[in-house]
Amino acid sequence: MEIRLRYLRIALVAFGLIFTLGIYPLTILWPDGWAWHTGHSDYIWMILSIYATLGIFLLLAARNPQEHASLIWFTIWSSLVHAVVMAVEAIGQPMHAGHLLGDVPALLIVAVLLAVLMPRRAPISTHVAAAKA
């Protein structure tokens, strides 16, 4: 359990940094795989602001992942749903097929890795604290 928690912390820091600092450069370096619009688009700044904010909170959650389980599960499920919606859109619009090699698999990796690393049960101290309340 302790080793799994250590890897979860590492993953939270890595994904937190990528969400906060890495997505924008990817939209510039490989727009076909990471940006949905070419030219000026307000969309990119909206999605970047959401992911940068999530990234900061993932970095904070890395200190004590068990206290931030709902945020981590939100990240897992929202990444999965976002990836599925993007995949459907990319398949339906061949000009966006690059996303099937870019942000779609990246979000699936985030979802799967965090889900695998997340503890399934609350630690004993949480059960004890709940019983005292």
pLDDT digits (tens, 9 = 90+) for 44-98: 899 999 999 999 999 999 999 999 999 999 999 999 999 999 999 999 999 999 9
Rounded Cα–Cα distance for residues 104 and 125 (Å): 37
Give me the phi and psi of 59, to 5 degrees please. -60, -40
Return the pLDDT at 130: 55
Report residue 132's pLDDT band, with 50, 70 and 90 as the boundaries: low
Rounded Cα–Cα distance for residues 101 and 104 (Å): 7
Domain ranges of the chain: 2-120
DSSP-assigned letter for residue 95: G
Report residue 105's pLDDT band, with 50, 70 and 90 as the boundaries: very high
Return the pLDDT at 63: 97
The pTM of the whole model exceeds 0.95: no
Contact between 66 and 9 (Cβ < 8 Å): no
Two structure tokens written together for 90: 């990319």
Rounded Cα–Cα distance for residues 120 and 132 (Å): 22
Two structure tokens written together for 121: 């049960």
